Structures are given as structure tokens and as C-alpha cells.
Amino acid sequence: MLSVTEFFADVSREVDGTLDTIIPKADVEPTRLHEAIRWSVFAGGKRIRPAILMATGRTFGVPSEQLANTSAAVEMIHTYSLIHDDLPSMDDDELRRGKATCHKQFGEATAILAGDVLQTLAFKAIADDETLTAEIRLILISLLAEAAGTPAGMVSGQQLDLDAEGRELSIGEIETIHGQKTGALISAAALSGAIIGNAANNELGAIESYSTSLGLLFQITDDLLDVTQATETLGKTAGKDAVAEKATYPGHYGVEETKAMASTVRDEACDALSHVEKDTTLLIELADFVLSRTR
Amino acid sequence: MLSVTEFFADVSREVDGTLDTIIPKADVEPTRLHEAIRWSVFAGGKRIRPAILMATGRTFGVPSEQLANTSAAVEMIHTYSLIHDDLPSMDDDELRRGKATCHKQFGEATAILAGDVLQTLAFKAIADDETLTAEIRLILISLLAEAAGTPAGMVSGQQLDLDAEGRELSIGEIETIHGQKTGALISAAALSGAIIGNAANNELGAIESYSTSLGLLFQITDDLLDVTQATETLGKTAGKDAVAEKATYPGHYGVEETKAMASTVRDEACDALSHVEKDTTLLIELADFVLSRTR
């Protein structure tokens, strides 16, 4: 069994290779657009979503080549959302993964287009993936679109987040926002790996529970990092959530209680795996990695 | 045979019905997002792209229900591009189809999200269309993504257009920009109808030629309308192209020569149809409609 560090190195190498093939080279016209896309896609992202997809896929015995395009697609959807989220009219962020955000580097108009076309490329990557049956490709496209869309996906979560700024939220509202904005895509990544691996229905249910807890864990640790880490370590502007009066777990429960909650949610994720009749070590290690991450 | 006016009324009724089913209702949370989407989608658009798709589909004998989702998808891609194109950092337009643009009405952040999620809904609508075989759905998704994307689709055309503002363009450059920004999606609409209708390869080639000319005709008449029509008739701010120093046909050739060119391009579109072994009256009427349109 690979260590989780080696696994992440594998994932990054594989997904970067696929993304480099899918995204037009920076010298292809219009060069400014392709430079902008590559600026954000190859900005040193953690590749958490491809890792979750590949970990689930490996758990169900899927060969890497059948996971490549879908992993890249999920990462492209994620990157498009970051580019648009950072825009002046949204979170107005200047720093992302330790580099200037896309609009700071290339201007707002190009950043909007770069995000737009990353979404297009994501769906095309799955539609064109000849390692998968037509039926599986359509299930994956529909699943990813639901997770990225509305009324219970990434974009609706971003809208709820916008609508909520400046007012106090209940913990239920916080969970709804996070579940849509971050959790839906993480669950879609996990389910995609299992679907490609022809998982049985009860196993899909287990993976869905696991990934829902993992998504929640990811958001809780994200909120904790925003409070506890310096901008330098984080690679993005720290303390932004408090300034923007965003709804966060530490804001609601305090740091210590939030840390205890993270540990409980990690256990819930791993407990859900008991229904999967495979070696789930990698998925457990992934949950531990998310629990203890420092960026 | 229906008159072209009756045909357009049919198309609008059908596509509006499909769009109303696909897009979450305005009272579904987040309501602001769904109101914004509906504001732009039901703003009285001409439904030219669905009309082209349905006209080609009917020509090849396809029943309406097999054309519904793909027509709606093409219109959603088109509407997303209008919403983003109107943003302050892009064309900065306040009026569209006689109404406030999406960002004027709902703010920039919501307008960005409304455009984003229309793209998502478009691909999902095709993936979920059970009236079509899995193989056809994948071909349509890939075709639409190529037309909407980069390096030779709608978004790359918009980037080229942005890059070109303020400098004089060759006619070759103008044609490249228009071909990508407007023509690619129109061709994809026409080809989609033919693909759903199982057109033979030589017929697909003929429809591609027809639609390339039709797309060019559409752009030429669009440029002419911008010069010759008042804002009130046009439903969007007239004379914007000249103010923005955009590359246009009348700007390059003058109005009279551009009108003659439009007539020639209409004939080229119709000549291409001689290779189609079907009744092509509707497609010819559509070209005549685009030639003589007043908005």
C-alpha cells in the first residue's frame, strides 16, 4: 500500500498530465485565454477532488486510464468555480494558492471567459472518454452537472453564500451552504470513482455517506485553517471569512469545539465504509489526511 | 407547409415550454439565482438557434420531442454567453432585448452565477434526454462543447474580440472572430438536428456548409442592424459597435456593399442544400428570414 503522500504525488502527476493534454497549449490562439486557464489550473492546487475520485476508483479496482478524464473534469469544474469566486464582484480576492488570482493577472473579462470555458472543457472531457461505456459517461455528466449546478449544487451554494453575507446564520443554514458549495462536488467525485468501478447499490450508498462526511470534514478544516493559519502558509488571504462576516464553524462553535467536531466527523466517514466489501485503507487514510491537513 | 412566422411561433412555444421545465421555478431556493436565470432566458429572445435546430431536425423527419432538450440546451448556452458578454468588464451593456441586462437587475455576482449555471443545465439537459440513444447524446454534448468552447468556439471568439478592441482588423480576422463567436454555435445547432435525424455524411457536409453561410449571414445582418436601427426597435443599445471600435462588416465595407454581400451569402447557404435529398423549403425560408430580419 502506498503512503498517502505517495498517493497524492501519483494523483497530481496523473491529473496534471491529463489536464495538459485537454487544455490547449499556451501558444495556441487566443493565447491570453489559454495562458489564463493554465495560470489557474497549474497553480499548485492540492488536487483533493481528483484524489478522492481516484481513491474511490482504486478501491473498486478501476485502472487509472478509466479515471483520468473524469478526475480532470472534476478539477476543471473546481478551478472554474475558484476563478469566478475570486472576482471583484464575488469574494474579491487577490491571492490564490500563493499566486495572483486569475483576474489580477489577466483582467476580469479574460478571467470570466477562462472560468466559463473550463466548465465546457470538463463536460467535453467526459463525453469524449472512450475508455468508458456511453451509459457510464452520461451518468457521470449528469452527476457532475447536478453537483456543479442548481438547485442543490455548487452554484446554488455560492448564491446562498452571497445572499447570507452580513447576517447571522443558523448552523442548519451553514451546513446547507457548505453542503452545496463544497460538499456536492466532493460527493460527485467519490461517487464517480465508484460508478466507474461498477459498485453495487449498497456500496454506492456507503460511498455517498463517506463522501458527505468527508466533504463536511473538508469544510470544517477549511474554516479552521482560515482562523488558525497565516496567509503565507495558506497560500490565500487568511482571515477573509471573519472580515466578510461569512458563516463558519469556528465562528459559531469556537475553535476548540470545532476541532472536536472534525474528529467526530472523520470517524463517521470511516464508519460508513464498513458496508464496502473492499480494502478501504486508502479511503481511511484520505479522511485522516483531510483531518490533519495544514493547508 | 407552415409559414416561417408560424414556424417561429411553434419554436418559441416549444422551447419556452422545455426551458420552463428544465430551469428551477423562481420560488425555488436560491430564489434570486432562479429569478435572474428566468429574467434573461424569458426576455423575449428570438430563439434563432432553436429554430435552426428544429428546422434541420424537421427536414430530416425527426419528431419534436427528440429535438426539445437539445434546442433548449443550445438556447441556454446562448443566453449564458449574453449574460456574461453584457457584464461591466466585458461589453458593459445595460439593455438587452428591451430590458435591463441581468447584472443591472440582479447585480454582477448573481449574473455571473446565472450564466455559469445555465451552461451546466445545458449539458445536463442533453445527458438526461431519454428520447435519444446514449451514443447520439454524447455526440451532441461533444459537438456543443466544441462549439461553445476553445480553441475554435464561442469563448475563444469572445476572447479574440476582446483582444481586438481598439485596433483595425483585416477582413480575415473579422471572419475568424465572427465564425467562432457566433457561427460555431449556429452550425452546432444545425448539425444537431441533422445528427438526431441520422443524416448521411454527405448530407451532414451540406448542412455544415449551409449553416456556416447562415451564421455568416446572421452576423452580417446583426452588424447592419446595429448601424441602421434605433435602440428602441433593436431592443438593445444601438451603435455600440462603432463606439467600442468593434470590427464589423459595415465598418469595413460600408453599408451598401455589406447589403449586397448579405444577399450573396444567402444564395450560398441555399445552394449548399442541393445535396440534401429532402424537402428543404423550411431551411430556405429560414435563410430568407435571416436576410430580411429587422431585429
Grid cell 446565472 — which residue?
B114
Which residue is closest to B110 within chain A, CA to CA?
A: A159
Cα distances from B197 to residues B9, B60, B69, B77, B190, in angstroms, run 22, 5, 15, 22, 11
- In this prediction, residues B191-207 reach a mean pLDDT of 97
pLDDT for residue B125: 98
The predicted structure's pLDDT at residue B96: 87
Note the pTM of the prediction, 2 decimals.
Answer: 0.95
Backbone torsions φ then ψ of B128, nearest 5 degrees = -90, 5
CB B156 within 8 A of CB A33: yes
Angle between helices A134-148 and B134-148 (to 10 degrees): 50
Mean pLDDT score, A271-287: 96
B273 and B204 in contact (C-beta within 8 Å)?
Answer: no
| Predicted local distance difference test score (pLDDT) of residue A1 | 54
Chain A window 78-107: which residues touch B at a Cβ cutoff of 8 Å? 80, 84, 87, 89-90, 107
Contacts of B181 (CB under 8 A, 6+ apart): B154, B157, B158, B160, B161
> Do residues A70 and A136 touch, judged by C-beta distance below 8 A?
no
pLDDT of B130 reads: 98
Cell of A41: 489550473
Domain spanning B4-292: CATH superfamily: Farnesyl Diphosphate Synthase (1.10.600.10)
Nearest chain B residue to A148, by CA: B120
Domain boundaries, chain A: 4-292
Q: Cα(B188)–Cα(B50) distance, rounded to whole angstroms?
A: 11
| Closest-CA distance of chain B to residue A124, Å | 5
User: A92-101, B103-112, B222-231 — which is least confidently predicted?
Assistant: B222-231
The CA–CA distances, whole Å, from A191 to A51, A221, B239, B284 equal 12, 22, 51, 48
Please judge whether A127 and B146 are an interchain contact, meaning their C-beta atoms are less than 8 angstroms apart.
no
| Residues A151, B84: C-beta atoms closer than 8 Å | no
The shortest C-alpha distance from B99 to chain A (Å) reads 22
- A24/B contact by beta carbon, under 8 A: yes
Span B116-120, mean pLDDT?
Answer: 98
Contact A33 B153 (CB under 8 A): no
pLDDT in tens, A7-60: 999 999 999 999 999 999 999 999 999 999 999 999 999 999 999 999 999 999
Task: Measure in Å the smallest separation between the Cα of B128 and chain A Cα atoms.
Answer: 7
What's the whole-number average pLDDT of chain A?
A: 93
Residue A257 has a pLDDT of 95
- Residue B231 pLDDT exceeds 70: no
| CB atoms B163 and A89 under 8 Å | no
- In chain B, the residue whose alpha carbon lies closest to the alpha carbon of A160 is B30
CA distance A199 to A193: 9
Which grid cell sits at B182? 457566433
Phi, psi of A96 (to 5 degrees): -150, 125
Q: Which three cell numbers stand for residue A197?
A: 468501478
A-B contacts (CB, under 8 Å): 153
Mean pLDDT of the A119-145 span: 98
CB within 8 Å: B145 and A160? no
Sign of the CA dihedral with A56 first, then A62, A68, and A73 last: negative
Stretch B191-197: mean pLDDT: 98
Mean pLDDT confidence for B177-203: 97
Which pLDDT score is estimated for A156? 98
Lookup: cell for B79: 443566453
The pLDDT of residue A97: 81
Whether residue B11 has pLDDT greater than 90:
yes
Chain B residues inside the 8 Å CB shell of A137: 134, 138
For chain B, give the mean pLDDT: 93
CB B265 within 8 A of CB B220: yes
Top residue of A21, A76, A101, A117 to mutate, by most chain B CBs within 10 Å, is A117
pLDDT tens for B30-47 read 999 999 999 999 999 999
Mapped onto helix, strand or coil, the DSSP state of residue B1 is coil
Polymer length in residues for chain B: 295
In sequence order, what E strands does A35-135 have? 95-96, 99-100
Task: Identify the band that residue B239 occupies on the pLDDT scale cut at 50, 70 and 90.
Answer: low
Q: Please tell me which of the candidates B116, B149, B162 has its beta carbon nearest to residue A155.
A: B116
Using the predicted structure, report yes or no on whether residue A243 has a pLDDT greater than 70. Answer: no
pLDDT tops 90 at residue A265: yes
* Residue written as grid cell 433593436: B234
Q: What pLDDT was estimated at residue B230? A: 62
Q: For residue A146, what pLDDT is reported?
A: 98
From residue B13, give the alpha-carbon distance in Å to each of B7, B18, B51, B208.
10, 9, 11, 26
Nearest of B274, B256, B169 to residue B220 by alpha carbon: B256
